[in-house]
Amino acid sequence: MTFRSPRPLIGQCTPFGPAHSDSVTHPPHQRRLVEREQQKLTVARDSSHVKGKMEQHTGAVDFNILLATDSYKVTHYKQYPPNTSKVYSYFECREKRTDSTKLRKVKYDKTVFYGLQYILNKYLKGQVVTPEKIQEAKEVYREHFQDDVFNEKGWNYILEKYKGHLPIEIKAVPEGSVIPRGNVLFTVESTDPECYWLTNWVETILVQSWYPITVATNSREQKKILAKYLMETSGSLVGLEYKLHDFGYRGVSSQETAGIGASAHLVNFKGTDTVAGIGVIKKYYGTKDPVPGYSVPAAEHSTITAWGKDHEKDAFEHIVKQFPSVPVSIVSDSYDIYNACEKIWGEDLRSLIEMRSADAPLLVRPDSGNPLDTVLKVLEILGKKFHPVENSKGYKVLPPYIRVIQGDGVDINTLQEIVEGMKKHRWSIENISFGSGGALLQKLTRDLLNCSFKCSYVVTNGLGVNVFKDPVADPNKRSKKGRLSLHRTPSGDFVTLEEGKGDLEEYGEDLLHTVFRNGKIVKTYTFDEVRDNAKLKESEVKDLLL
Amino acid sequence: MAAQDFNFLLATDSYKITHYKQYPPNVSKVYSYFECRHKKGAQFSEVVFFGLQYLLKKYLAGPVVTEEKIQEAKVFYQMHFKQSVFDEEGWRKVLEKYDGRLPIRIKAVPEGKIVPRGNVLFTVENTDPDFFWLTNFIETMLVQMWYPITVATISREFKKILAKHLKATSGSLEGLDLKLHDFGYRGVSSQESAALGGAAHLVNFCSTDTVAGLLMAQRYYACPMAGFSIPAAEHSTIISWGRSREKDAYECLLDQFPSGPVAVVSDSYDIFKACKHIWGDKLKERVMERSEDSPLIIRPDSGDPAETLIEVIKILEECFGCSLNSVGYKVLPSYLRIIQGDGIDLNSINEILEKLSDEGWSAENVFFGCGSALVQKLNRDTLNCAFKCSYVEANGKGMDVYKQPVTDPSKGSKRGRLCLRRNSDGFIETVERGAGKPEEDMLVTVFENGTIVQEYTLDEIRKAAQLWEDDVSPSQHNKEDGPTLDIHQKHIMNGVH
């Protein structure tokens, strides 16, 4: 949005696209910089061919917190009131006071707090400011703004006084906590009066915690649905943790997202194919179990279709025999799912399937069509070929050596429809498990839970001021005021106290704990603790069954 | 992604670990392809191919297999499956035979190319019969291409809408590539996605606050500085002054950034009062002191986007006046502009621009910022991205393979070895079953046996992805652009497959 002709862009855009010639757009003193960078790039590219992947990763070492923020934040140190010595901000999943959109089936009135520890460990702890990083940022921003707006002095102060450690304090609710919307989840404040501007510099990176929070919350809501129907149709919750398998690796937007999102799903479940999530948990949380998530051998279309259309049966038979003693899932819709269930599984390979055990069932996987209709029809066909029994609750259960897994079109709404439809048709939820990809890890935005980060308190001229926004056009966007704390009332409800009122003893302890201070992580949670905090409480399950 | 930590053997869907046991005996080649499937009534008919070079450089090039990584994977999968299924020997052979480089060939359409839905975009095949299982092992990673492709495509759709309105209401396309600013850094799911999505937007525009995208364009696409930004306020820098000092906060911004544009979010309490009483009255003189090179850009950030914007522009007209441009649309004084960055998506931006022009306002008056609709609110189904096996060789014989589920015909896949070409009518089409001629194939080998053999710069990609004349004004012909706009390109626009 630069308007400064004759500076770049304006007037240099060709009618049908931008002009991008650096020699044209950069004044001479800046051209040198560009050339230097190009040289650097060339070197990096060349070595990458030689050294390969190791050289390619930009990763943690290369990560520059000075370049990991929204551009405009680079200019904010100039904008706070004079003599500001502290900025204090907080993060919440706002409660929607008015909902103009259509009534959602799922209300998401509580959120699972998860993922901050990853961000702190990976990006914020330790010496994150170095002379090289300051220099790099200075050069990038000069080109980016076509001006010297970068706060070099401020960053040098952090480098010198704190050896490059960030002088901020972050207090947060314990990871895994299930907290009603509209409460503070974490607060951030500068600890050095000179670094008032740093609080909101890290907003961009911290707000990305919306993602693990939202995945964990949405996954937990699906767990509630599954728990309810599993309990109603089988009388127990056995196997609940394996009912929703993560199929989302390919459908997320990056490797890093896959790691974060998949780990968030594993807060609630134990089945995953998104290997990256396990790496995140092992590295940033830790578990007592060797791995926090499991999988089973399974076919994909290529391993079936590679046999040719006339050899689908051979493919099925081969794969079933390859994995005799563990569960094996076989996608059966390459050509005709119903024919596959009736003729191949139900007749040609029936005796082979009957030899399998409860520990090593065949999982038939449909992968197209309307999810509910397809599941019901598949169950009906399999029920005719492999005779179901009635369980203690009066619902039909296929023999233990055969199950169904539905992994296409599964989101929280279709999941509800399928389990409800199965119940109506007297099928126990024991017969099925689900896979979810895009809906579990990608079809989510920051708006689902209205995650936002707002400044609520500043100190100017030595005086603390409670601040807030309250836009006339949208009362939902009103923010909290002053210093915040989170408490439990005697009746067990959560309450956020504003304007520093939580300092009074009568409200009991603040549930926000300092997790980060001046570059050090001072409190961590194991993944077992996270899971324990987020587990479905007996009272919740009881409520679901009402 | 931490460099040393990344283990290619752990970057796939678990089940793929078990697939080497599942292919037919004596398979020697698996050949798969990626497409954005055509779907009846789909919103987007063509896609921008972008992002493969990043994936190749970051994750696939060079020796990616080491003995340590094999051991790590072996131990891991043993625990993950609670049994031994990992193909340790197969991977060790990659290490021994190829020094850990992947015996794979990837052919792809050039980055930046605009391709109608339903065509092959890239193909993957093993180059050594021992490693037939490797082709689809990397599916998981390569399918993540859906993301940069989808962002670049959506961003280009924004550009089409903006171009159409800008041309119609100002007579030119000046400033087009600064009209849509990327506000999405905080709203994406990770730093890496921010970089990838941010870079994909920069294929079409030069305006961003997502710094990560700039670094990606530098490091992977040889563009020293791909996008620009300006100083701008956020709510914290306004409200920290206290509610009674909103005017002081605004004045501070004008003082701090006298030369060059500055954007000021003005809805902390009441956007309309801020426009009328602060900008349009108390600070009116200060605003008028600014120039075309250093405008004040007022930013509303709540309420219905179209209604709010119209009301804001009317208030500003009352306070500052306006003039008519050469095509008869109203323009605020050149020292004053508006940026709308809340609630922007493809639908709302069109609605806003239509309302503006209905009320006689030129699109010159406004800029847009877009966050989640640009870089997060999209998924692999937006363009139906899929990767499928279409050809195998077993016992020395080639066979075209495909899936064709009765329960969903749109999931049918292509057959055989594929070639992308322009037919004699100028349409881009995919030739199946190995019937394509190599000399007319638009797919270029970009990766072979661990080495990247073809690279593109962002400049090249931007040129390839430029809007065509038909995108802007279907009925007009602009001779000046003749050389860059051959008959084929026009045809692609109407191409249906």
| Span B227-285, pLDDT tens digits | 999 999 999 999 999 999 999 999 999 999 999 999 999 999 999 999 999 999 999 99
CB-CB contact of A267 with A250 (8 Å): no
Q: Which residues, 6+ apart, have CB-to-CB distance to B208 below 8 Å?
A: A71, B181, B182, B198, B201, B202, B214, B226, B227, B228, B229
Mutate one of A48, A56, A128 to test the B interface: name it (highest B CB count within 10 A): A56
Angle between helices A275-284 and A255-265 (to 10 degrees): 80
pLDDT of residue B4: 53
pLDDT of residue B487: 39
Question: How close does chain A come to B418, measured CA to CA in Å?
Answer: 16
* pLDDT tens per residue across span A102-142: 555 788 999 999 999 999 999 999 999 999 999 999 999 99
What whole-number distance in Å separates Cα of residue A292 and Cα of residue A278? Answer: 6
* pLDDT tens per residue across span B26-39: 999 999 999 999 98
Q: Is the peptide bond before A6 cis (omega within 30 degrees of 0)?
A: yes
What whole-number distance in Å separates Cα of residue A339 and Cα of residue A26? Answer: 66
If one compares B338 and A62, the residue with the highest pLDDT of the two is B338
pLDDT of residue A506: 76
Residues of A in contact with B462 (CB under 8 A): 17-18, 20
Q: Residue B223: which of A4, A122, A37 has the closest Cα?
A: A37
Q: Determine phi and psi for A522, rounding to 5 degrees.
A: -105, -10
CB-CB contact of A242 with A227 (8 Å): no
Residues of A in contact with B4 (CB under 8 A): 54, 57
* pLDDT tens per residue across span A23-74: 333 333 433 333 333 444 333 333 333 333 333 333 356 899 999 999 999 9
What element of type H or E holds A135? helix A131-145
In order, the DSSP letters of B19-52 are GGGTSPTTEEEEEEEEEE---TT-S--EEE---H
Question: How close does chain B come to A323, measured CA to CA in Å?
Answer: 9
pLDDT of residue A473: 86
Angle between helices A255-265 and A210-234 (to 10 degrees): 40
Residues of B in contact with A297 (CB under 8 A): 15, 18, 21, 81, 85
Query: What is the interface size between A and B, counted as CB pairs within 8 Å?
Result: 495
Residues of B in contact with A63 (CB under 8 A): 191
CB-CB contact of A53 with A163 (8 Å): no
Burial, A537: exposed, middle or buried (Cβ in 10 Å; 0-12, 13-18, 19+)?
A: exposed
Residue position matching structure tokens 């990767």: B387
Residues in chain A: 546
Amino acid at A186: F
In order, the DSSP letters of B173-236 are -TTGGGSEEE--GGGSSSHHHHHHHHHHHTTT-SBBSBHHHHHHHHHHH--S---B---B--HH
pLDDT of residue A100: 52
Q: Is residue B122's pLDDT more than 90?
A: yes
In order, the DSSP letters of B284-346 are HHHHHT--TTS-EEEE--SS-HHHHHHHHHHHHHHHH--EE-TTS-EE--TTEEEEE-SS--H
Average pLDDT, chain B: 93
User: SS3 for B462?
Assistant: helix
| pTM (predicted TM-score) | 0.92
If one compares B479 and A219, the residue with the highest pLDDT of the two is A219
Helices and strands (DSSP H and E) totals, chain A: 21, 18
Of B61, B206, B387, the CB nearest to A48: B61
* Alpha-carbon separation of residue B430 from A110, A149, B67 (angstroms): 49, 50, 41
What whole-number distance in Å separates Cα of residue A415 and Cα of residue A245? Answer: 12
What whole-number distance in Å separates Cα of residue A333 and Cα of residue A341? Answer: 9
A7: closest chain B residue by CA: B293
Mutate one of B230, B299, B447 to test the A interface: name it (highest A CB count within 10 A): B230
Instruction: Give the up-direction half-sphere exposure of residue B55: CA atoms within 13 A in the CB hemisphere.
Output: 27
Please tell me the least confidently modeled range out of B15-24, B363-372, B470-479. Answer: B470-479
pLDDT of residue B40: 85
Residues of A in contact with B480 (CB under 8 A): 15
Task: Tell me what the mean pLDDT of segment B278-302 comes to.
Answer: 97
Decide if the complex's ipTM is over 0.85. yes
Of A253, A298, A472, the CB nearest to B188: A253
CB-CB contact of A74 with A149 (8 Å): yes
**Token pair for residue B71?**
């051991």
Confidence of residue B484 (pLDDT cuts 50, 70, 90): very low
CB-CB contact of A316 with A307 (8 Å): no
pLDDT of residue B497: 31
* Alpha-carbon separation of residue A519 from A120, A161, A189, A305, A454 (angstroms): 9, 12, 13, 54, 22
Q: Residue B264: which of B276, B249, B286 has the closest Cα?
A: B249
Under-50 pLDDT residues of chain A: 1-59
Of B222, B239, B241, the CB nearest to A41: B222
Q: Which residues, 6+ apart, have CB-to-CB distance to A269 below 8 Å?
A: A219, A223, A241, A242, A243, A244, A245, A246, A293
pLDDT of residue A461: 95
Looking at chain A, the whole-number percentage of residues with pLDDT higher than 70 is: 87
Distance in angstroms between the alpha carbons of the first and the last residue of chain B: 39
* Alpha-carbon separation of residue B357 from A162, B167, B330 (angstroms): 54, 12, 9
What whole-number distance in Å separates Cα of residue B452 and Cα of residue B104? Answer: 11
Geometric angle at alpha carbon A472, from A463 and B229, rounded to 5°: 75
Residues of B in contact with A374 (CB under 8 A): 407
pLDDT of residue A101: 52
What whole-number distance in Å separates Cα of residue A280 and Cα of residue A274? Answer: 11
Are residues B228 and A146, on separate chains, in Cβ contact within 8 Å?
yes
**Token pair for residue A100?**
């103009």
pLDDT of residue B447: 98
Please tell me the least confidently modeled range out of A60-74, B281-295, B433-447. Answer: A60-74
Strand pairing partners for B451? Answer: B448
Task: Tell me what the mean pLDDT of segment B462-467 comes to.
Answer: 97
pLDDT of residue A48: 36
Are residues B14 and A295, on separate chains, in Cβ contact within 8 Å?
yes
Strand pairing partners for B32? Answer: B124, B389
User: SS3 for B255?
Assistant: helix
pLDDT of residue B468: 85
**Token pair for residue A373?**
């209709």
Are residues B302 and A473, on separate chains, in Cβ contact within 8 Å?
yes
Residues of B in contact with A116 (CB under 8 A): none
pLDDT of residue A61: 62
Residues of B in contact with A98 (CB under 8 A): none
* pLDDT tens per residue across span A188-199: 999 999 999 999
Question: How close does chain A come to B334, measured CA to CA in Å?
Answer: 10
Question: How close does chain A come to B335, measured CA to CA in Å?
Answer: 10
Looking at chain B, the whole-number percentage of residues with pLDDT higher than 70 is: 94
Task: Tell me what the mean pLDDT of segment B109-131 comes to.
Answer: 98
Strand pairing partners for B207? Answer: B228
In order, the DSSP letters of A215-276 are HHHHHHHHHHHHHHHHHHHHSS-TTGGGSEEE--GGGSS-HHHHHHHHHHHTTT-SBBSBHH
Residues in chain B: 497
User: SS3 for A53?
Assistant: helix
Question: How close does chain B come to A252, measured CA to CA in Å?
Answer: 6
Are residues A211 and B190, on separate chains, in Cβ contact within 8 Å?
yes
**Token pair for residue A238?**
């056995």
